[in-house]
Amino acid sequence: MISRRALLKAAGAAAATAAGAEALRAERPAEAISTSAEPALGAHDHQQAAPRAPLEALTAEEAALLTAIAARLIPADANGPGAVEAGAIAYIDRALAGFLSPSREAYRRGLAALERYARSSRGRPFRELSPVDQDSLLIDVETGAATGSGAGFDGSSAAFFAMVRAHTWQGTFGDPYYGGNRDYIGWNLVGYPGVRMAVTPEDQRLGAMPQPLRRSAYDTDSFTKATARLGSRGARDGDPA
């Protein structure tokens, strides 16, 4: 299997930046979403933490399948936890109920198509495949090879893969305010020390590694929850301000 860690270390910072920009339209803070470490075991006996109910947009089956996919996109390995442990699925689920709601149907159709493709091309549901077979199938989807399989992808399967990958990156590396990057797993992975409103001369010294700040941008007075809602549909009744 091709290691994703080297790629993610280069791409993670860019993904975090993109996540922050797009997530300025999000509607609810991270504390509205909770996740558990309850494992879902596949045929290869690989533990995957799945989001705890209640889900906001995804069905339980969709969340379980998306969890298995994310576990291969950014896997937990010797270098540390991955996308699942970082809460990427909770981020995607909440976003699909809010500012990413236009993508909800694309997820429904794409996940169903991926599962049909797994059964037709590998003979088993995606979650029951070995990690090697899961990776092989995802490569088919990523490259568009699954497009003409009759599985039902809208357009190219590559477009669905790119969407899921982008949102998985956002949920792993974005500001934890939006429901992902639990325990700053994503920031730790790429060596991002956190939001800083001031930088000391010592921090700027060549080769210096600033001490990590375990805080969200919204923990500062200059970046408020009200600011985060600019461009959103507005808070719904009962949403925290």
- DSSP codes, 172-232: HHS-GGGS-SGGGHHHHHHT-----S---TTTTSTT--PPP----GGGSTTS-HHHHTTTS
Question: pLDDT at position 32, please?
Answer: 35
Q: Residue 236 gets which letter from DSSP?
A: P
Question: pLDDT at position 48, please?
Answer: 52
Which run of H or of E encompasses 50?
strand 47-51
CB 183 within 8 A of CB 35: no
Across 215-222, average pLDDT: 73
Q: Residue 156 gets which letter from DSSP?
A: -
Structural domain including 210 reads 8-228
* Rounded CA separation 104/116 (Å): 19
pLDDT higher than threshold 90 for residue 194: no
Percentages of the chain per state (helix, strand, coil), in multiples of 5? 50, 5, 45
- Return the bridge partners of 217, or none: none
pLDDT band at 215 (very low <50, low <70, confident <90, very high): confident
CB 137 within 8 A of CB 55: no
Q: Is residue 214 part of a domain?
A: yes
pLDDT band at 51 (very low <50, low <70, confident <90, very high): low
Tens digits of residue pLDDT in 93-125: 999 999 999 999 999 999 999 999 999 999 999
Q: Is residue 97 part of a domain?
A: yes
Q: What is the pTM of this model?
A: 0.74
Q: Is residue 233 part of a domain?
A: no
Tens digits of residue pLDDT in 132-156: 999 999 999 999 999 988 999 999 9
Output 142 or 17, whichever has higher pLDDT: 142
CB 229 within 8 A of CB 27: yes
Backbone angles phi, psi at 191, to 5 degrees: 75, 25
| Domain total of the chain | 1
Tokens (6 digits) for 123: 């003979």
Average pLDDT of the residues of the chain: 76
pLDDT band at 45 (very low <50, low <70, confident <90, very high): very low
Across 17-40, average pLDDT: 39
**Taking the CA atoms of the chain, what radius of gyration do you get in angstroms?**
18
Q: Is residue 17 part of a domain?
A: yes
CB 107 within 8 A of CB 97: no
Q: Is residue 3 part of a domain?
A: no
Q: Return all residues near 122 (Cβ < 8 A) that are at least 6 apart.
A: 129, 133, 137
Q: Is residue 1 part of a domain?
A: no
